[in-house]
């Protein structure tokens, strides 16, 4: 695995883990900020930043669905797991539009900031 792929993977994981937390504190803005962070940590151009932000949004949606599945099973047992999985799946589909979209937009900005910062250091 190359250095840029490992950096992208780390950026996606960090952005994906922080997106549900930031999103719970400030909806839409939190996803955008997590996308900026993922795009900045990717250390590439705006396109790779967008990719990192979008993938972190997808990871955050999967985390949300799994959390609903686990909370449903802990609360109501097997039937709760079914209800939690169904509800989590629907909410993950709905939230994935926001997570992926806002994460990608933030990732573009984060990639642009990184590229601009690298350019200033090199000159």
List the chain domain ranges: 3-122
- Mean pLDDT along residues 86-97: 79
Mean pLDDT for all residues in the chain: 84
Mention every residue, 6+ apart, whose C-beta is less than 8 A from residue 86.
none
Instruction: Flag whether the pTM goes above 0.85.
Output: no
Compute the distance between CA of residue 95 and CA of residue 74 in angstroms, rounded to an integer. 23
Structure tokens belonging to residue 39: 């795009």
How distant is the alpha carbon of residue 101 from its chain centre? 10
Region 110-118 average pLDDT: 81
Residue 92 has pLDDT above 90, yes or no: no
b/e per residue 36-45 (b: at least 16 CB within 10 A): bbbbbbbbbe
CB 51 within 8 A of CB 103: no
Q: How far apart are CA 112 and CA 94, in angstroms?
A: 28
pLDDT at 122 (0 to 100): 67
Residue entry with tokens 């709760």? 80
> pLDDT-derived band of residue 119, with 50, 70 and 90 as boundaries?
low
Q: Using pLDDT thresholds of 50, 70 and 90, give the confidence band for residue 33.
A: very high
Q: Closest Cα partner for 12 from 44, 26, 27?
A: 44
Would you state the pLDDT for residue 1?
A: 44
Mean pLDDT of 49-59: 93
pLDDT of residue 71: 76
pLDDT at position 70 is: 79
Judged by DSSP in three states, 44 sits in: coil
């Amino acid at each position: 695995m190359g250095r840029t792929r490992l950096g992208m993977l780390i950026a996606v994981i960090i952005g994906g883990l922080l997106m549900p937390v930031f999103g719970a504190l400030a909806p839409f803005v939190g996803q955008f900020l997590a996308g900026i962070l993922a795009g900045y940590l990717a250390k590439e151009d705006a396109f790779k930043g967008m990719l990192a932000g979008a993938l972190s949004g997808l990871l955050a949606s999967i985390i949300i669905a799994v959390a609903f599945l686990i909370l449903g099973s802990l609360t109501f047992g097997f039937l709760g797991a079914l209800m939690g999985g169904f509800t989590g799946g629907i909410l993950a589909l709905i939230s994935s539009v926001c997570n992926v979209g806002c994460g990608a937009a933030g990732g573009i900005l984060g990639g642009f900031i990184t590229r601009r910062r690298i350019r200033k250091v090199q000159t």
